[in-house]
């Protein structure tokens, strides 16, 4: 698929219409990519997030991007890995579908995803990559995007995504 790209890098540096954050249900910041996004975006992001009433697992919410180069942020709350019998793959898939839908609703044409749930939330990387790539590839309106980027931060995820796609 011509508009799907894999990169190895820091999502906070990307010049795209919207980046996706791997957030938690409180939306009040955390470690990993969430911490990096809040740090670069600045304190106004936390203020906006505090005005929202959280976000359930598997769902997404849009905020401004403040000091980031990217134009907006979609916060997606991935599932915590609990062994695979707790609907984890459906919830993870729902983050990718939800983010793509919300992005198109707002006219965004370039979007970058981190490897949601594969850090602190402990989702096995290969399984997460299979779910993420299948979700994006099967998204009905994928052709409307100019670019969908899988932004891998670690070499292992980059290799996994490269071998799958
Ligand atoms: P989760 O709680 O959803 O597991 P994490 O932020 O802990 O979220 O990890 C999700 C993924 O984001 C991991 O693969 C981690 O390596 C990656 N990550 C961490 N920092 C960045 C960053 N600055 N840019 C892109 N990806 C990042």
In a 13 Å sphere around the CA of 152, the CA atoms on its Cβ side amount to: 19
CB of 10 closer than 6 A to ligand 1?
yes
pTM: 0.98
What burial class does residue 27 get, using C-beta atoms within 10 Å of its C-beta: 0-12 exposed, 13-18 middle, 19+ buried? Answer: buried
Q: Can you tell me the mean pLDDT for 81-85?
A: 96
Rounded distance between C-alpha atoms, residue 146 and residue 18, angstroms: 12
pLDDT score of 141 more than 90: yes
Q: What pLDDT, in 10s, does the model give residues 32-61? A: 999 999 999 999 999 999 999 999 999 999
| Other Cβ atoms closer than 10 A to 100 | 25
Q: What is the pLDDT of residue 69?
A: 98
In this prediction, residues 115-140 reach a mean pLDDT of 98
pLDDT in tens, 117-126: 999 999 999 9
pLDDT grade, residue 109 (50/70/90)?
Answer: very high
Q: Are 89 and 99 in contact (CB under 8 A)?
A: no
**Does residue 134 register a pLDDT over 90?**
yes
Q: Whose CA is nearest to atom 6 of ligand 1?
A: 32
Known catalytic residue at 154: no
Distance 145 CA to ligand 1 centre (A): 23
Given a cut of 90, is residue 10 above it in pLDDT? yes
As its CATH architecture, domain 4-164 has: 3-Layer(aba) Sandwich (3.40)
Instruction: Identify the active-site residue in 34, 90, 141, 154.
Output: 34
Whether residue 58 has its Cβ less than 6 Å from ligand 1: no
pLDDT at 1: 73
Average pLDDT, the chain: 97
Q: Is the CB of 22 under 6 A from ligand 1?
A: yes
Q: Does the CB atom of residue 117 touch ligand 1 within 6 A?
A: yes
Domain ranges of the chain: 4-164
């Amino acid at each position: 698929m011509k508009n799907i790209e894999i990169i190895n890098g820091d999502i906070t540096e990307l010049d795209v219409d919207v980046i996706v954050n791997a957030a938690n249900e409180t939306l009040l910041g955390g470690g990993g990519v969430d911490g990096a996004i809040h740090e670069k975006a600045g304190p106004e992001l936390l203020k906006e997030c505090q005005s929202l009433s959280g976000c359930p697992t598997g769902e997404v919410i849009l905020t401004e991007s403040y000091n980031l180069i990217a134009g907006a942020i979609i916060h997606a709350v991935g599932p915590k890995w609990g062994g695979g019998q707790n609907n984890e793959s459906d919830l993870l898939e729902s983050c990718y579908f939800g983010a793509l839908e919300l992005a198109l609703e707002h006219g965004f044409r370039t979007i970058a995803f981190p490897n949601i749930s594969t850090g602190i939330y402990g989702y096995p990387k290969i399984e997460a990559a299979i779910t993420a790539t299948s979700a994006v590839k099967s998204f009905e309106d994928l052709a409307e995007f100019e670019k969908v980027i899988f932004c891998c931060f670690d070499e292992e995820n980059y290799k996994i995504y490269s071998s799958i796609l």
